[in-house]
Amino acid sequence: MNFKFLRDNKQIVYSIALMILIPGVVILNTWMFSTSFRKTIDQSLQDKAVGIGESVNAGLSNKLSSPEEMQFFINNWKGYNSDTKSLDVFYRDNDTFKMVATMNNDEKLGEEDNSLVYTIAWNNNWPSAQKIYESDGVSNYRYWLVVMPLKDLNGQKQALLSMKLSADVIEKIMVVVLGNSYWILLITIVFIVLLLLVNSRLFEYSILYNKIKEVDEMKDNFISMASHELRTPVTVIRGYATMMLEEAKKLGVNDEAKEYLSIIDVSSERLNGLIEDLLNVSRIEQGRLKMDIKDIEVWPLIEETIKEMKIQADTKGLALSCVLDPNTKSLIKADKDRLKQVLINIIGNSIKYTPSGSVEVKALNRDNNLVLIIKDTGIGMTSKEREHLFEKFYRVKSKKTEDIIGTGLGLWITKQIIELMKGSITIDSMENVGTQVTLEFPLIK
């Protein structure tokens, strides 16, 4: 059950993962930075320590045979290099090393030392630098111990240098830098956690969204089922009403009865149109609208549609015409029946919302597209009303439109069908002037 809940609410899993991963990544990044920073600093200090040892060697290279001169140099060195905590020079004496000059260990002058690190540096004839830690019982100190052979001007090793360089200053800087980075890390984690906690309401929104989605699917299924169930009886009612109306005219039934039958016929036709629109909406939203895309010539289809709708236009006294620009090509890929549905809807709207004047359908080519322009001299609309035209169930509400029948679904369905055929639709309109609908479809090359 819990797995099903998490599977159905992936947003919750995503948010929990973020609450763990983001702070984890920040912590890992800070740890890697601090580790890399320490290594870089240590390498830099090691190189510096060896470099200072080389400097001492350069200063003592012509004094290695005289302990007195070396001691004088060391005393001077002490005054100018506060980072140097000890500096001792040893002569090799068989297997040990005898101190002959020192900075701070005067009492050890003449003593011998056989430390392994001295022996290794002497035998390898190469500088050695390593970190050492010392404590006075109160504080801990970090040094770099440099041990290296001292060579004369001829490059021959004559003595051994042992020098301690303090790393306290760098250590303090490093502690400050790393301390600041850890504080930034802590503040960052706090902000991230707070942000994710605030956004934890997404959990509720996610659950609510899923519930709304479920209800929406139930609504779509209900509309689809209800529309299908209503379609058959409404078709039967409409058929019988039409048949009865025709028989009534033949049998000379009084006008009042014929009027009632006419009302039933018109109402059933409206209901049938509403059911068909609802079915189309359901099919489009569920991706079940079947499209039979083929190569078709559009102009003959336009002429056919104009002929079928001419009676409707003549009833209102409107001039309905179609114009084909010279050399216009009209071969496109489309579903013939669906395209005719689109044309009937748009031209029907133009006739419906045009009290007087004309409706014209024009076809032309532009930028390798077939352009269809349906222009009328109807009531038009404002720019604000035009913004909502392609919304479901939207209808322009005014005194001029209150008696015009419609569901508010036609243009939404039309737009979806056009886009399924890789076309586009735009509408321009001015109130009390008229409306122009422009359709564009890519031509077959």
Q: What is the per-residue pLDDT across 149-186, written as a single tens digit (0 to 9) for each?
A: 999 888 898 999 998 887 765 666 666 766 777 787 77
pLDDT band at 318 (very low <50, low <70, confident <90, very high): very high
pLDDT at 231: 65
Long-range contacts formed by 193-201: CB under 8 A, 24+ apart: 193/19, 193/23, 196/15, 196/18, 196/19, 196/22, 199/15, 200/15
Average pLDDT over residues 25-54: 78
pLDDT at 3: 62
From residue 46, alpha-carbon distances to 38, 42, 80, 310 in Å are 12, 6, 20, 97
With H, G, I as helix, E, B as strand and everything else as coil, classify residue 411: helix
Average pLDDT over residues 331-351: 92
pLDDT at 198: 67
Q: Roughly what angle, to the nearest 10 degrees, separates helices 10-60 and 168-198? A: 170
pLDDT at 10: 62
Report pLDDT digits (tens) over 292-302: 899 999 999 99
List CB contacts of 179: < 8 A, sequence separation 6 or more.
Answer: none
Is the pLDDT score of 337 beyond 80? yes
Q: Residue written as tokens 């763990």?
A: 20
Residue-wise over 418-439: b if at least 16 C-beta within 10 A, else e?
beebebebebebebeebbbbbb
> Which comes out higher in pLDDT, residue 276 or 304?
304
Report pLDDT digits (tens) over 48-87: 778 888 888 888 889 898 999 998 898 888 777 777 888 9
Domains along the chain?
A: 18-193 (3.30.450.20), 201-285 (1.10.287.130), 294-442 (3.30.565.10)
- For residue 1, the 8-state DSSP code is -
Report pLDDT digits (tens) over 96-147: 999 999 988 788 888 888 888 888 989 888 888 888 877 777 777 778 888 9
pLDDT at 424: 95
- For residue 293, the 8-state DSSP code is -
Number of Cβ within 10 Å of residue 384's Cβ equals 7
Report pLDDT digits (tens) over 245-278: 777 777 777 777 777 777 777 777 777 777 777 7
* 92-96, 198-202, 309-313, 409-413: range with lowest mean pLDDT: 198-202
Is the pLDDT score of 411 beyond 70? yes
* 12-26, 35-49, 64-78: range with lowest mean pLDDT: 12-26
pLDDT at 280: 75
From residue 247, alpha-carbon distances to 236, 240, 241, 317 in Å are 16, 10, 10, 29
Q: Answer yes or no: are the C-beta atoms of 142 and 165 closer than 8 Å.
A: no
Q: What is the DSSP string of 24-42?
A: HHHHHHHHHHHHHHHHHHH
Give strand pairing partners of 359. Answer: 320, 376
pTM (2 d.p.): 0.49
Is the pLDDT score of 374 beyond 80? yes
Is the pLDDT score of 204 beyond 70? no
pLDDT at 1: 46
- Count CA atoms within 13 Å of residue 364 on its CB side: 9
List CB contacts of 297: < 8 A, sequence separation 6 or more.
Answer: 330, 331
Closest C-alpha to 334, from 217, 237, 207, 442: 442
From residue 306, alpha-carbon distances to 309, 328, 343, 356 in Å are 5, 18, 9, 18
The alpha carbons of the chain give a radius of gyration, in whole angstroms, of 47
Residue 175 structure tokens: 């502690």
pLDDT at 219: 67
Residue 199 structure tokens: 């956004």
Report pLDDT digits (tens) over 353-366: 999 999 999 999 99
Mean pLDDT, rounded, of the chain = 82
Q: Would you state the torsion angle of the CA atoms of residues 213, 218, 219, 225, taken in this order, to the nearest 10 degrees?
A: 150
Share of the chain above pLDDT 70, in %: 87
pLDDT band at 307 (very low <50, low <70, confident <90, very high): very high
pLDDT at 24: 75
Share of the chain above pLDDT 90, in %: 28
> Which comes out higher in pLDDT, residue 248 or 425?
425
pLDDT at 170: 60
Phi, psi of 412 (to 5 degrees): -65, -45
pLDDT at 229: 67
Is the pLDDT score of 38 beyond 60? yes
pLDDT band at 243 (very low <50, low <70, confident <90, very high): confident
From residue 311, alpha-carbon distances to 117, 154, 270, 307, 316 in Å are 112, 119, 18, 8, 9
